[in-house]
Amino acid sequence: MASPPAKNENLRRTGPLKAGHYCGVMGAFGIPNAGDFIFNGLYSLQHRGQESAGIAISDGEKIQSLKGLGLLSEAIAPEDVDKLRGKIGIGHVRYSTTGTKRVQNIQPLVIEYSRGIVAIGHNGNLTNAQKLRNAFEARGSIFQTSTDSEIIVHLLADPEHIENKDPLASALEHVEGAYSAVLMDARNLYAFRDPYGWRPLSIGKLGDGYVVASETCAFDLLGARFVRDVRPGEIVRFSSEGVESSQFAEPQKHKRAQCIFEHVYFARPDSILFGETVHEVRVRLGERLALDAPAEADAVISVPHSGDPAALGFSRRSGLPLEQGFISNKYVGRTFITPTQKGRCERVELKLNVVREVVEGKRLVVVDDSIVRGTTCRGRLDMLRQMGAKELHMRVSAPPVRNPCFFGIDFPTREELIAAHRSDEEIRKFLGVDTLAYQSTEGLLAAVNGAHDEYCLACFTGDYPIAISDCMDKNAFENRCRV
């Protein structure tokens, strides 16, 4: 595993209060009214991105698209989707991990080049995007966006690759980092993953057609049957000739690095991820916590909703009753999108309310999935104290987050990560709890059934699967930082 670069303390990563989601992608081939199909499916992936949404549809001759900022319901009107006719399409919900929140960066990107018009939706981060973009611009290439996803299209149009028997495979050989993506032209749909398999991407079947999505929960909503995951380093082509698969990278040359934080926090509990149901993994994480870090208490409560399955597991294994200590207002947006600390605190108060009867005079085990900056967590714990909690025992189903991610999670800078520069005891005092215990990396890996060396734990351990440039700023293309 590669260690972080010597300048790791200065790596520029801007991020939200809690770990930010990356993106969600969808694709459909041979599906009547593909626009309606993708539009509905994107609702199942909304948790992966709330900044913008877009749909691109082909009728076999031309590609039309709809895009907008905000949630899917704000970005695209259903009556406009009805006007998109075609059986091929892709969709995207975005949380920016490269490039700012502006209209030009909304995906799918629809770009025309010498071979026609293509659209692409991408989940992940390309770690060599700066180097590639600098090279293209030095040759006179013009970029329409400040997102790394556009790099793939420029590679696809490059003379070095365009004459290749398989231009997409040739182009992807030059890309480094994390990408699970869907790409379409007027008549074909392509789905592909990076050789390390960081981000999930699955294939489903519906009648005579196929669907691709970041998570299988989208298949359930649409009535599609899960078939399999797109393999790391694989390109799957859906066309009138059928389904074709090819490997652009040999698996044995790349060690898998599936993002374990998908299981901890990002993916929906009802999705099958890397071969396992997310809910079951999270329950096992809670059970392991109860074994490794028990507490004498009256009840277990979760921080909704990310801590719910782990709290259930802790309750089952410890024998302590599971109570609902917080009531959440589901109509208040996520706190991490609020730019100021004052605004974040106000959002926390609006989002959650404490059930006094559950809390007052009780010794409570409070279970959450992770602690990033710690400010939101402390605010919630303060609410429990104010409502009369006698003791608070904080249990976290993931290990301490000590390092930034460069593969699609928008963690804050290392300086802002509370566990990067404080001991567990210092964090306990900061949070104001009686005891604090994190999941161990051994406990984290024990909760998944797959091979333990196939997961990326870099945000916990600092061991990065590939070397990282010291110029990894999500706004680098606006700042024009050079490597």
For residues 341 and 323, give the distance between their C-alpha atoms in angstroms, rounded to a whole number.
30
User: What are the CA-CA distances from residue 174 to residues 126, 195, 320 (Å)?
Assistant: 11, 12, 53
345 is catalytic: no
One-letter amino acid for residue 367 of the chain: V
In sequence order, what are the beta bridge partners of 237? 190, 244
For residues 391 and 378, give the distance between their C-alpha atoms in angstroms, rounded to a whole number.
14
Q: Is 251 exposed, middle or buried (0-12, 13-18, 19+ CB in 10 A)?
A: middle
For residues 457 and 468, give the distance between their C-alpha atoms in angstroms, rounded to a whole number.
15
For residues 125 and 70, give the distance between their C-alpha atoms in angstroms, rounded to a whole number.
21
**Locus of tokens 């709890």:** 433
For residues 400 and 396, give the distance between their C-alpha atoms in angstroms, rounded to a whole number.
8
For residues 29 and 209, give the distance between their C-alpha atoms in angstroms, rounded to a whole number.
6
In sequence order, what are the beta bridge partners of 366? 301, 394
In sequence order, what are the beta bridge partners of 200? none
**Contact, 317 vs 291, CB < 8 A?**
yes
Structural tokens at position 15: 């991020």
For residues 386 and 390, give the distance between their C-alpha atoms in angstroms, rounded to a whole number.
10
**Locus of tokens 């090819």:** 246
Given 23, 259, 377, 405, the catalytic residue:
23
- Residues belonging to the active site: 23
